[in-house]
Chain A
Amino acid sequence: MHYFSQLFNYEHPWSHVVIGMWHKYPNPHCSHVVTVDVLDRSVDPQTGIIRTERVLGCKQKAPIWIVKLFGGSEDAFVREISFINPATQDATITSVNLSLSQFATCYENIRYSPAPNGTTTFVQTAEIQARMALWRSAADRLENWLVQRFEQNAQLGKMGFTDVLRSMWEAKDGQHAHSFHS
């Protein structure tokens, strides 16, 4: 498991930052995010909390070994859930990768909260974790496959060498055996 976190202030009031959230993409600094879609949104008539589920499409070239090992592609998708609570002036964004999620998860949390002098604190944490259970079962399968291949090859090797020895020596050894016995 790997952790990442950062914290800083934006020189804008909370409401401006939260309005700006919906205008972040497309962004020349984050050109890897190419599509943004809202999948679900609710405005709670009791609390005024807005919950939004989005899917972000990213294009990011993965290293060749990752593509070969996991069959990934340039297109990666992320699920993002945000809550905006005007009563407590709290905005949270939680994201998790959908692509390659069977191998590893990148779980990110962002929180915007009001800070003194009309600024806004941004806190970002992320946990990146490979799915160990899966690695273990993949390792087991790999070992089993290697054992089978080894057994097959050992069997074939025995047969092969038996043939070589037979064709090399059978006539001669046969003769020798014959002459020995006669």
Chain B
Amino acid sequence: MAHSLSDECTPLKREYDSCFNAWFEGYLEPAVNATTPEQRLKYSQDKAAEYERNCGKIWNQYRECVQKAVKDKGLDVLLEQARAENPLKEPPPATPVDKNPA
């Protein structure tokens, strides 16, 4: 696993990444294979709650650490500008080249 931008946060980051990866690897295949909208909704709700239960605590600790590191490096201002310019709250639309893979 890569380092955090602050050495202080690296142990928290690694613990969080491991937690997320373990959750995600169990999440993905059944999420892809869900057949009905009801099934998908139920699965998404259950899994979102499970993620919060499993990784919520370590995530809060890691986030607190990394937010401070971002500020210390002066990246907070640049990030705010980038977010204002392009919030990216929705996935970008598919372009023609995406839709017609060779």
Q: Which residues of A contact B (CB under 8 A)?
A: 5, 7, 9, 14-15, 18-19, 22-23, 25-26, 33-39, 41, 43-51, 53, 55, 57, 77, 79, 81, 83-87, 89-90, 92, 94, 96, 98-99, 101, 109, 111, 113, 115, 121, 123, 125
Task: Check A35–B88 contact: CB distance below 8 A.
Answer: no
A37 pairs with B66, CB closer than 8 A: yes
CA distance A111 to B43 in the complex (A): 25
Residues of A within 8 A of B44 (CB): 43-48
B91 near A92 (CB under 8 angstroms)? yes
Interface band, chain B: 35 or more
Partner of A43, one of B21, B51, B79: B51
> What is the interface of chain B, defined by CB distance below 8 A to chain A?
1-5, 9, 13, 16-17, 20-21, 24-25, 27-29, 31-32, 34, 40-41, 43-45, 47-49, 51-52, 59, 62-63, 66-67, 69-70, 73, 75, 78-79, 81-83, 86, 88-92, 94-95, 97-98, 101-102
List of 5 A-B pairs having minimum Cβ-Cβ separation, nearest first: A86-B31, A48-B44, A83-B91, A45-B48, A36-B2
A34, B98: Cβ atoms closer than 8 Å: no
User: Which secondary structure dominates where chain A touches chain B?
Assistant: strand
Measured CB to CB, the closest approach of chain B to A29, in angstroms, equals: 14
| B interface secondary structure, majority | helix
Q: Provide the residues of chain A in CB contact with B91, threshold 8 Å.
A: 49, 83, 85, 90, 92
Contact residues in B for A15 (Cβ distance below 8 Å): 28-29, 32
